[in-house]
Chains A and B, each alone.
Chain A
Amino acid sequence: MKRLDLVRDILDTQVTDREETKMGRVDGLVLELREGQPPRVVAIEMGFVVLVRRLHPRLGDWFLRLRRRVKVRKQACYSVPWSRVLDVTPFCVTLDVEAAETPAFDWECWLRDHIVAHLPGVAK
C-alpha cells in the first residue's frame, strides 16, 4: 500500500498520458464521502474552469458562461476516473489514456489544426 499526500503529491501535479505526453495538471480532485467508510478519491479533474473556481466560485460561473460562446472544448471540465490512474510519481500522474483522444487536448488540437498548420516552415 502506497501512502500519499493528496495535496502535495496529486493536486497541481503534472498529468501525462501513456506515452508521457504532457496533458495538463490535476486542477481538482473529487472525493466520495461514504457512510461508515473512509472517503475515497473517485476522479481527478482538469480544466480552466476547475482552476478558476478555486479562486472564487463566481469566477467559475462567469467562465462557464464565456465558454458557451467559444466552443472549442467539448466539455468544460475533463473528469478522469481514479481507476485510470496508472502511476503517481514525484514527477507526474500518469493516466491510462492517449492525450489526443481526450478533452484535455481539445485546445491543443484546435490550435494545431487551425493556426500552426497554416504557418510557414513548421519542420525544424
Chain B
Amino acid sequence: MKSTKVHLELLVGKEVHDSEGKRVGRLLSVTAERDGDDCVVREFLLGPAALLKRLGISTLHLVGFQRRKPVAVPWDQLDLSDPKRPRLRCRADELKGGKKERI
C-alpha cells in the first residue's frame, strides 16, 4: 500500500483552495478518532471561525464572527499530495451539500 508522511504542524494555517482554484479558507483544525493504538483523521476544519472554535471562545462575546461557520472537510476530500498547497478534491459549494461522514 502506497503511503506518504506529512507534518501536521506545517499544514496548520495553510490556505486551502478548491478544485477550481477558489479560496476556501485556512487549515486550522483536524478532528481525529482514537481507537486503541490507532488515531485516525476524520475531518479537517477550515476558515477563520475554526480558530475561534479552537480557542473555545463563545461567539456571543465576539460580535461579527458568528455568521461564518467553520467548513468541515471529510478526510477523503482534501488532497495533501503537495503539503504546501492543500486542495479540495471538489468544489467548495459541493462540500456543503455533499455527504459528510458523521460519527
Contact = CB atoms under 8 A, between A and B. Distances in A.
Contact of A30 (B7, B80, B81): B7
B37 A4 contact: no
Interface stretch (B25-33, B57-65, B89-97): B25-33
B54 A11 contact: no
B70 to A, nearest CB: 11
Given A6-B8, A8-B29, A30-B6, A38 B76 contact: yes
Contacts of B103: 1, 3
A40 interface: yes
Contact of B30 (A1, A2, A6, A82): A6
Q: How large is the interface on B (under 10, 10 to 19, 20 to 34, 35 or more residues)?
A: 20 to 34
Nearest to A88: B34
Contact of A35 (B3, B7, B34, B80): B3
A29 B76 contact: no
B7 A7 contact: no
A54 B10 contact: yes
A4 B2 CA distance: 26
Interface string A36-73: 01111110010000100110000000000000000000
Given A7-B12, A35-B1, A82 B41 contact: no
B99 interface: no
Interface of B: 1-10, 12, 28-35, 37-42, 54, 75-76, 80-81, 103
Interface of A: 1-8, 11, 27-35, 37-42, 45, 50, 53-54, 82-83, 85, 88
14 contacts: A2-B33, A3-B31, A4-B32, A8-B54, A30-B8, A31-B8, A31-B41, A33-B5, A34-B2, A34-B3, A38-B41, A40-B41, A41-B40, A53-B10
Given A6-B31, A6-B32, A34-B1, 11 more contacts: A3-B32, A3-B34, A5-B31, A27-B9, A29-B9, A30-B7, A35-B1, A35-B3, A38-B40, A40-B40, A40-B41
